[in-house]
Amino acid sequence: MSQASRLASMDARLVRAFSRSGLADAATLNSIACDVMLDRNVQVLGQYGEVTSVSASATFQLSQVTPARGMTLVVGSNTWTLEKKLSGDESIAEWVLNDG
Protein backbone atom coordinates (compact mmCIF):
# COMPACT_ATOMS: atom_id res chain seq x y z
CA MET A 1 0.00 0.00 0.00
CA SER A 2 1.37 3.43 -0.97
CA GLN A 3 1.70 6.35 1.41
CA ALA A 4 -1.17 8.15 -0.36
CA SER A 5 -3.40 5.09 0.07
CA ARG A 6 -2.53 4.81 3.75
CA LEU A 7 -3.26 8.50 4.32
CA ALA A 8 -6.61 8.25 2.51
CA SER A 9 -7.52 5.22 4.63
CA MET A 10 -6.51 7.05 7.81
CA ASP A 11 -8.54 10.14 6.79
CA ALA A 12 -11.62 7.95 6.18
CA ARG A 13 -11.25 6.28 9.60
CA LEU A 14 -10.84 9.65 11.32
CA VAL A 15 -13.96 11.10 9.67
CA ARG A 16 -15.98 8.01 10.68
CA ALA A 17 -14.75 8.43 14.27
CA PHE A 18 -15.56 12.15 14.19
CA SER A 19 -19.05 11.36 12.86
CA ARG A 20 -19.71 8.88 15.67
CA SER A 21 -18.63 11.44 18.26
CA GLY A 22 -20.63 14.32 16.72
CA LEU A 23 -17.64 16.23 15.31
CA ALA A 24 -18.52 15.57 11.65
CA ASP A 25 -21.88 15.88 9.94
CA ALA A 26 -23.86 14.02 7.31
CA ALA A 27 -24.32 16.38 4.37
CA THR A 28 -25.08 16.64 0.69
CA LEU A 29 -22.89 18.33 -1.89
CA ASN A 30 -24.92 19.02 -5.05
CA SER A 31 -27.32 16.28 -3.85
CA ILE A 32 -24.51 13.71 -3.32
CA ALA A 33 -24.40 12.29 0.22
CA CYS A 34 -21.10 12.85 2.04
CA ASP A 35 -19.57 13.41 5.46
CA VAL A 36 -18.20 16.87 6.22
CA MET A 37 -16.28 18.54 9.03
CA LEU A 38 -17.46 22.14 9.49
CA ASP A 39 -15.46 24.96 11.04
CA ARG A 40 -17.18 28.24 11.76
CA ASN A 41 -15.53 31.64 12.31
CA VAL A 42 -12.55 30.85 10.08
CA GLN A 43 -10.36 33.89 9.48
CA VAL A 44 -9.34 34.14 5.82
CA LEU A 45 -6.00 35.93 5.47
CA GLY A 46 -4.92 38.23 2.66
CA GLN A 47 -1.59 38.56 0.91
CA TYR A 48 0.01 40.41 3.83
CA GLY A 49 -1.54 38.36 6.63
CA GLU A 50 -4.47 40.69 7.19
CA VAL A 51 -7.87 39.19 7.96
CA THR A 52 -9.91 39.72 4.79
CA SER A 53 -13.05 37.93 5.96
CA VAL A 54 -14.50 35.61 8.57
CA SER A 55 -16.38 32.67 7.17
CA ALA A 56 -17.10 28.98 7.58
CA SER A 57 -15.13 26.16 6.00
CA ALA A 58 -15.86 22.53 5.23
CA THR A 59 -13.47 19.60 4.89
CA PHE A 60 -14.49 16.85 2.46
CA GLN A 61 -13.23 13.33 1.79
CA LEU A 62 -12.34 13.16 -1.90
CA SER A 63 -13.29 9.47 -1.95
CA GLN A 64 -16.91 10.63 -1.43
CA VAL A 65 -17.18 13.82 -3.51
CA THR A 66 -15.16 16.10 -5.79
CA PRO A 67 -15.85 19.64 -4.54
CA ALA A 68 -15.73 22.60 -6.95
CA ARG A 69 -16.44 26.31 -6.77
CA GLY A 70 -20.14 27.11 -6.85
CA MET A 71 -21.38 23.74 -5.57
CA THR A 72 -24.08 23.73 -2.88
CA LEU A 73 -23.47 22.14 0.52
CA VAL A 74 -26.45 21.29 2.74
CA VAL A 75 -26.05 20.23 6.38
CA GLY A 76 -29.35 19.92 8.22
CA SER A 77 -31.22 23.18 7.62
CA ASN A 78 -28.06 25.14 6.66
CA THR A 79 -27.02 25.78 3.06
CA TRP A 80 -23.71 27.15 1.79
CA THR A 81 -21.98 27.66 -1.55
CA LEU A 82 -18.35 26.60 -2.02
CA GLU A 83 -16.25 29.72 -2.66
CA LYS A 84 -12.58 28.72 -2.83
CA LYS A 85 -10.29 25.86 -1.88
CA LEU A 86 -8.17 26.55 1.21
CA SER A 87 -6.09 23.39 1.34
CA GLY A 88 -6.05 19.73 0.50
CA ASP A 89 -4.14 16.67 -0.57
CA GLU A 90 -4.92 13.40 -2.34
CA SER A 91 -7.69 12.45 0.11
CA ILE A 92 -9.21 15.59 1.67
CA ALA A 93 -10.00 19.16 0.64
CA GLU A 94 -11.01 22.17 2.74
CA TRP A 95 -13.18 24.86 1.18
CA VAL A 96 -14.34 28.35 2.24
CA LEU A 97 -18.14 28.56 2.35
CA ASN A 98 -20.50 31.43 1.53
CA ASP A 99 -23.98 31.58 3.00
CA GLY A 100 -26.30 30.09 0.39
pLDDT digits (tens, 9 = 90+) for 3-40: 778 877 877 788 777 777 777 899 999 999 999 999 98
8 Å CB contact between 76 and 43: no
Given this model, what pLDDT does residue 45 score? Answer: 85
Each domain of the chain, given as residue ranges in start order, spans 3-99
Please provide residue 73's backbone torsions phi and psi, each rounded to the nearest 5 degrees. -105, 130
8 Å CB contact between 7 and 89: yes
- Measure the CA–CA gap between 23 and 75, rounded to whole angstroms: 13
CATH-assigned architecture of domain 3-99: Beta Barrel (2.40)
pLDDT digits (tens, 9 = 90+) for 46-88: 899 999 888 899 999 998 999 999 999 999 999 999 999 989 9
Whether the full predicted model's pTM is greater than 0.75, yes or no, is yes
Query: Would you call 29 exposed, middle or buried from its count of C-beta atoms within 10 A (0-12, 13-18, 19+)?
Result: buried
pLDDT of 100 strictly over 70: no
- Measure the CA–CA gap between 51 and 47, rounded to whole angstroms: 9
